[in-house]
Structure 1
């Protein structure tokens, strides 16, 4: 059963380590740490991907900044309590890491596959330029009764297709993990720049 639930959420990223490791949390005496990996897009834009690593997987006290890292694992979420609200926090949870000298195929530096269930109605809209977009929230089962809630964004024909899905539909999604900067209004005088993470969908199907 565990093998099956691990297969429904697979991600691999290759990029440049951009920050030192910072402590995230501890589970049964095992510490988990976060760093940021810069992953290039074909458009020459860069996605800032949060990578979570166990202290038992690599030396988290070493400075890896500027070097390349390849990580495979799962895209995971957890709710962080901020005042009276919960904030969905996403990161790539590494199961394996390696340190390549570079990469030959830039189309394979950021890949994700999800098999889960739609847990909110799709939000379909068009941009001012007429581009079709659909926002999806997919729940992906994890061992021991847990689930990860992964925001996904589909474009064009995929967006139109996804707009007809019903809550509870089982979906398979292929794409990449992307970061997006946005502005959060805190009160009348203060705003804060934040980074959102989501899956940009290249292919999807309903089962």
Structure 2
């Protein structure tokens, strides 16, 4: 059962480490740390994606900045309490990692597959230039009754197709993990720059 569940959430990212490790949490004496990975796009821009890494998988006391790695794992979420609100925090939970001497095929630096369920009505809209966009929230099951809640964004024909999904619809998604900066208004006079993480959909299928 757990192997099947693991197959419904698969991520591979290849990039350069651009931060030190910071402690996140411990489970049964095993420490988990966050580190940022810069993943290049074909457009020569880059997504900076947080990786959740076990201290048993990498030496978290070392400085790996500038090193190129390939990380395989799952895109996971958890709710962080901020005052009276919860904030959805996303990262790639790393299961395997390998260091690369060099890498040239930038078409394969960022790949994700999700098999889950629509858990919120899709939000469909058009940009001022007429481009179609749909925002989806997909629940992907994990073992032991847990789920990850993954924001996804679809474009064009995929957006129009996704706009007709109802809550509970099972879908499969192929795409890439992307980072996006936005400004959060905290009060009438105070704003804060934040980074959102989501799946940019390249292909999706309805399984019902």
TM value normalised by structure 1: 0.99
Q: In the alignment, what sits opposite 1:148? A: 148
Structure 2 equivalent of residue 135 of structure 1: 135
Distance 1:184 1:163 in 2: 26
How far apart are the structure 1 equivalents of 2:140 and 2:37?
Answer: 23
1:101 positional shift: 1.3
- Alpha-carbon distance in 2 for matches of 1:150, 1:34: 18
Deviations 1:50-104 (A, max 9, x none): 0010001110110000111110000000000000000000000000001101223
Give the unaligned 5+ runs of structure 2: none
Residue of structure 1 in register with 2:201 after alignment:
201
Match of 2:63 in 1: 63
Runs of 4 or more consecutive aligned structure 1 residues displaced over 2 Å after TM superposition? none
How is 1:83-162 mapped onto 2 (pairs within 5 angstroms)? 83-162=83-162
CA distances 1:27-59 after superposition (whole Å, capped 9, x unpaired): 111100001000001111110100010001110
**Residues 9-28 of structure 1, C-alpha deviation per residue, up to 9 Å, x if partnerless?**
00000001000000000111
Name the counterpart of 2:191. Answer: 191
Residue 180 (structure 1) aligned with residue 180 (structure 2): yes
Alignment partner, residue 33 of structure 2: 33
Q: Which moved more, 1:97-106 or 1:30-39?
A: 97-106
Separation in structure 2 between the aligned mates of residue 7 and residue 102 of structure 1, nearest angstrom = 28
Alignment of 1:44-83 (within 5 A): 44-83=44-83
Please report the RMSD computed on the Cα atoms of aligned residues, expressed in angstroms: 0.5
